[in-house]
Amino acid sequence: MTERVEVAVIGAGPGGLSAALAAAKAGAQVTLIDSYQTPGGQYFRQMPEDWAESLIDRSSPRQRQGRALCEQVAQAGVQTLSNTVVWGTAEGNTLALHGSEAPALLQAQAIILATGAYDRPIAFPGWALPGVMTAGAARILLTQKVLPGKRVLLAGTGPLQLVLAAELVRAGAEVVAVLEGACFFRDGLRHLEALWGQWKRLAEGVSSRLTLLTRRVPYRTGWGIIAASGTDQVEQVTIGRLDNRWHLIPGSEETLACDTLCLGYGFVPFNALARLLGAKHEWRPDLGGEVPHRDSHMQTTVPRVYAVGDGAGIGGAQLALVEGQIAGIAAAAHFGHGAASVEIAIQQLAPALARERRFQQMYAALFTPGPGLYELNSDDTVLCRCEEVTQADVRQAIAMGADSANEVKSITRCGMGDCQGRMCSHLITRLVARETGRPMTEVESFTPRPPIYPVPIGVLSQQAMDSLQEEMVEVAQG
């Protein structure tokens, strides 16, 4: 049977926790849905409950902040469905769920999407070798007290690389080098104003840089990855200097030995649910990719569907916390909870929102990768790892007349694997744009299809039976 709730919040990272707390404090009935065992998301990542007691004294300040926020959410009366995925949607803001404690269908009068983002996948010769991983994967391992490798090379862009490198060094790894693709020193002075008020971020960055200086870890700006090689795992990596469009400067190549390569080239908003719900999107490379149109209340083009945090445009945890508050207050106001003071409450958050958006704009201006990053792969490079589709396969499909990612998908099966295109969608769409000579704004990307996460076949058949039973009850009562 379908359960009903006033506000459903999807994702229990900073934006989702903030939104759920704000809506519940205003008086709304709130259900928070998250795929992890413990709320917190990637930023506030909490230990599994059976680990928490033994590791509580070793948790980071960020984890302790997240734990405190989770406790506030619980005290506010929010119902939390953990280990639960939203794998599809239906009419009337109905969500299809899969989880041991979750209803099969949940109909919400308002939905707040706080679905976050995932590491930007970059294809190059050797990127599928064992030992090549995203920065996010490395951080998850470190959080669980597992060292990703002994001799680690980091390649990417943005200050999060410094933080990860410092964490690796402190954990006992040898960091071969940190490669920063951008030459941000050239343009950084124009954005100094955006750093005002970002004291915690600055302190974390300075502390991380000092750690690397103390351990004599090379930090090279304007350098990037070219290829990786090895027999059974990555053993060496070819790097090179980049021009201002991130293309290799010929003759600058070097080879470094390592057993682990961590890639941190930013994030891509996870927008599958927003698109399934019908929200209009636009291509914004400065915000990570396709992002939903939103009004000042964080509402998308679909009434009573809101989007906050990195899933609506890469901006970091602090921006997500502010956007979550605004969306939670606005969603609750739809049901008369605090409606009289909603504009006043949102106005009070305006300075914090402006401060975080200035930082977002600065970060995008300095650390958005250039087009050269997407031109590293050769024809035999696998672009879709789930279905083993190479660049040559995609180019052949385009030569046959495919002029969108969806048409390439129908010919090659790229994007039909377990990840449902999260690893290859960006790569395929950019290749289609490049091969057809069209801008990204004119190239249709993969259309999300339920189930957007793998679920047992029995879940799909049970939903069909439940829907049929509900229809029969409605007919009998009508």
| Architecture in CATH for domain 2-118+268-365 | 3-Layer(bba) Sandwich (3.50)
Note the pLDDT tens digit of each residue in 258-309. 999 999 999 999 999 999 999 999 999 999 999 999 999 999 999 999 999 9
Burial class (CB in 10 A: 0-12, 13-18, 19+), 197: middle
DSSP β-bridge partners for residue 177:
153
Q: Rounded to an integer, what distance in angstroms lies between the CA atom of residue 383 and that of residue 389?
A: 6
Q: How confident is the prediction along the chain (478 residues), in pLDDT tens digits per residue? A: 679 999 999 999 999 999 999 999 999 999 999 999 888 888 887 766 665 444 444 567 888 888 899 999 999 999 999 999 999 998 888 999 999 889 989 999 999 999 999 999 999 999 999 999 999 999 989 988 899 999 999 999 999 999 999 999 999 999 999 999 998 765 656 667 777 778 788 888 889 999 999 999 999 999 999 999 999 999 999 999 999 999 999 999 999 999 999 999 999 999 999 999 999 999 999 999 999 999 999 999 999 999 999 999 999 999 999 999 999 999 999 888 887 788 888 899 999 999 999 999 999 999 999 999 999 999 999 999 999 999 999 999 999 999 899 999 999 999 999 888 989 999 999 999 999 999 999 998 899 988 898 888 888 776 665 665 555 445 455 5
Number of separate helices (H) and strands (E) present in the chain: 14, 21
DSSP H helices, 144-299, are 160-171, 199-214, 272-276
For the segment 43-67, what is each residue's pLDDT rounded down to a tens digit? 887 766 665 444 444 567 888 888 8
Burial 12-26 (b: 16+ CB within 10 A, else e): bbbbbbbbbbbbbbb
3-state secondary structure of 445: coil
DSSP label at residue 241: E
The Cα-based distances of 467 to 2, 84, 456, 464 in angstroms read 9, 20, 18, 5
CATH class label, 132-265: alpha beta
The pair of three-digit structure tokens given for residue 42, joined into one six-digit string: 């990637």
- Domains in the chain: boundaries: 2-118+268-365, 132-265, 377-442
CA 312 to chain centre: 10
Please give the C-alpha separations between residue 73 and each of 31, 166, 451, in angstroms, as whole numbers: 11, 32, 29
Sequence-ordered list of residues with C-beta below 8 angstroms from that of 369, at least 6 positions apart, any chain: 120, 157, 181, 182, 246, 265, 266
Q: Which CATH superfamily, name and number, covers 377-442?
A: BFD-like [2Fe-2S]-binding domain (1.10.10.1100)
- State how far the Cα of 330 lies from the Cα of 308, in Å rounded to an integer: 12
pTM of the full predicted structure? 0.92
- pLDDT per position as a tens digit, 106-139: 999 999 999 999 999 999 999 999 999 999 999 9
Do 132-265 and 377-442 fold alike per CATH?
Answer: no
